[in-house]
Every structure is written in structure tokens, then in C-alpha cells.
Amino acid sequence: MAYDGTRYAGFQVQPNAPTVQAELERALSILCDERVRVTGAGRTDAGVHASGQVIDFRTASALDGATIGRGVNALLPEDIAVSGLGPAAEEFHARFSATGRTYEYRIRNALERDPLERLREHHVDTALDVAAMRDASTALVGRKDFSAFAAGPGGVRTIRSAEWCSEGSLVRFEITADAFLRGMVRAIVGTLLWAGRAKIDSAAFAAIVDSRDRGKAGPSAPANGLCLVSVQYDQDLGATNSGGSAPRPLNANEQNEADE
């Protein structure tokens, strides 16, 4: 499923605030004529988008997946849509069965912003050294304690890849890990922007990673540039797999913090 997170307080249900999960549960409950609870693979924060989010839910409805998919899209607001729906294995759990997640962060590096993309890109009007950001990003890969980038309790995660690329004035950062700490990607991007502005070099960035101290890292980049683009699963679980699989899913203790 996909959504524009601009007007939502995140994926997960919150009191007195609009959320993606609440909209999904409302639509599915109407369609299935029963109370439906939804689990998401990534509990994205306020303002963060998704093009490859995965959810699961249980229902006693006799409707098939295609019918439920069409019906729920008719009931959802225009900034949320389900792209595919079908049965999964009994033990499948959208969050705890996931073996990896990939996020993309988009930056418009130009003097003028692009008004048509303003809701999904962070505009930076000063020149960025993308090569320096790419070089610094190598310090992220591996299994490490990423507490320096956590908006709350820290922890150990495995980052499998962290790559920058530029296409004209559009600069994209793609990062894949087994899971992410709350606020982790935006804090990483905000700190890598220091490298892009020559405020720190790759050695200094590596020292920030090793410090486990959020106070040493840079400010979080704005939420509007971030998007959950894919979630990976073991094919045996019967879920849509939008990427490669990893050796095993994380258990509940390893994923005790919210994703981006």
C-alpha cells in the first residue's frame, strides 16, 4: 500500500490525531462488517510517506482479496491506497516477519524549490558535495549501535546498504536495514548534510556513529523527504516481497522501537 503522509500524525493509531492505521481500520471494518485491526510493517512518523508499506489483518469475511481491495480503496481518502491484497501464511506478521526495510530520502538541491514536489522533497538551496556524503555513508554499513541517531531509546541494527545518487538537481539517499530506530533515517540524513556542506569529514561522521550520543549528531532532516519504499520478507510466508530476503526475521524484542 501507499500513502502521502503529509496530513497524518504517522502510521500508528494515536488519540485525537489522524493516522493512516485509523483510516485503514475504519474502511476495512465497514467493508468486512466487523472490527478489523491492522498491523503495519513500518510505523512511519508524522509526515513520512510510503510507496511500499505492507499491512496484515484478520477477517472472517467471505469476500476475496480482489473484492476487499477494490472496496477498501473506494472507502479510503485519496491520499491512501492499497495496491494488492491476498491471503498470507497463518504465522505471517507484517512487522515481525519482515527481514528488511528500505527507505528513500529525496532532496531538491537547487536555488529554487520545485512547487510540484514540495510535499515529498526537502529543499536545500546551498551546494552539496554528494561525493563527500557518499564517502561518509560507508561508516553506516554493518551491525552497529545506532543510538547516535535515535529519537528515543537506542539500539543495535544492521544496515545492509546506504547509497547516495544524484539526477540533475534531485539527490536521493536509499538505505536498507533489518529495522530502524525511531527517527533514525532522518537523523542520519541531517548529519550527512553536514558532510555535504563540509562541516564534517568522513572520519568525523564515523566518530559520531561510534559515539552512540544523539547530542553529537546533526538535526533531523524534515519528514516530507522520507518515504518507505519496500519491505522484504521470506517468500515462504506468502507476503508480497518487494526486495531480497535476509537470514531471519527480527523478533519482538529486537524491534522494540518504532520505525521511521
- In degrees, to the nearest 5, what angle opens at C-alpha 22 toward C-alphas 4 and 235? 70
In sequence order, the β-bridge partners of residue 101 are 177, 231
Contacts of residue 27, defined as CB under 8 A and 6 or more positions apart, other chains included, come to: 72, 75, 76
C-alpha cell at 248: 531471519
DSSP helix/strand/coil, 57:
coil
Contacts of residue 248, defined as CB under 8 A and 6 or more positions apart, other chains included, come to: 99
Q: Which residues are catalytic?
A: 45
C-alpha cell at 187: 537523523
Dist CA 193 CA 190 (whole Å): 5
Alpha-carbon torsion angle 45, 50, 52, 55, nearest 10: 50
Dist CA 170 CA 106 (whole Å): 7
Contacts of residue 199, defined as CB under 8 A and 6 or more positions apart, other chains included, come to: none
With residue 230 as reference, give the H or E element that holds it: strand 226-233
Contacts of residue 153, defined as CB under 8 A and 6 or more positions apart, other chains included, come to: 147, 181, 256, 257
